[in-house]
């Protein structure tokens, strides 16, 4: 059954507000990622149910960053190994935050959040899933999340142009990213209002 948008809005309003208070940039990133993910999902022919799950998972995918210390989340430079390990806990933290919401339809959304940093070659996290072991919604979210993260200002890097981001994504197809999903994303992003310049 499709998640009821009004019910989920009521249930998730508090955590979304907490994310916005914690980090406005991450909140805005989640909004853009949500829109691009749904555009990509439509090109892949997802059902209305799966599109609803994808919409909410994309909106909430970085909710676990609420629990990341400031010294890591806002560090102006590359993270060291210890800090990277802390940052990589955010999918699990996000899953656990969502799983605590008393809504009968939250489980598939929490699952996508948990797996949005898996890689198709098995070298992602937190569980090292590979290929089709990774839910397709998480494979979509992985690509869109990376696109927006690379294309926008972060404490640890300057934004890159659209052409640069796409080169980086295609260099990782078959390793980090699902080639079929990436091909569909590559088509829709060219005419999307969320396409960055360059």
198 located within any domain: no
194 located within any domain: no
Which range marks the domain in which residue 155 is found?
5-189
69 located within any domain: yes
196 located within any domain: no
pLDDT digits (tens, 9 = 90+) for 88-123: 999 999 999 999 998 888 999 999 999 999 999 999
57 located within any domain: yes
14 located within any domain: yes
Nearest to residue 32, comparing CAs of 6, 5, 58?
58
109 located within any domain: yes
Please tell me the total count of domains within the chain: 1
167 located within any domain: yes
Asked whether the CA dihedral 97, 100, 101, 103 is positive or negative, the reply is positive
CATH (domain of 16): 1.10.3210.10
pLDDT digits (tens, 9 = 90+) for 44-79: 999 999 999 999 999 999 999 999 999 999 998 889
């Amino acid at each position: 059954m499709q998640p009821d948008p009004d019910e989920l809005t009521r249930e998730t309003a508090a955590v979304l507000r907490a994310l916005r208070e914690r980090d406005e940039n991450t909140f805005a990133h989640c909004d853009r990622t949500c829109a691009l993910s749904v555009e990509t999902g439509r090109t892949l022919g997802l059902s209305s149910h799966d599109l609803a799950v994808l919409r909410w998972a994309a909106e909430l995918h970085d909710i676990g960053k609420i629990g990341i210390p400031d010294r890591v989340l806002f560090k102006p430079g590359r993270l060291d190994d210890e800090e990277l390990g802390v940052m990589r806990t955010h999918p699990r933290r996000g899953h656990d935050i969502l799983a605590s919401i008393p809504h009968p339809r939250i489980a598939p959304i929490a699952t996508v959040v948990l797996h949005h940093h898996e890689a198709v070659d098995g070298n992602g996290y937190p569980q090292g899933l590979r290929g089709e072991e990774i839910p397709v919604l998480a494979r979509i979210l992985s690509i869109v999340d990376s696109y927006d993260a690379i294309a926008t200002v972060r404490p640890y890097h300057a934004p890159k142009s659209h052409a640069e981001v796409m080169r980086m994504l295609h260099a990782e197809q078959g390793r980090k990213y699902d080639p079929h999903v990436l091909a569909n994303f590559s088509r829709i992003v060219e005419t999307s209002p969320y396409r960055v310049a360059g």
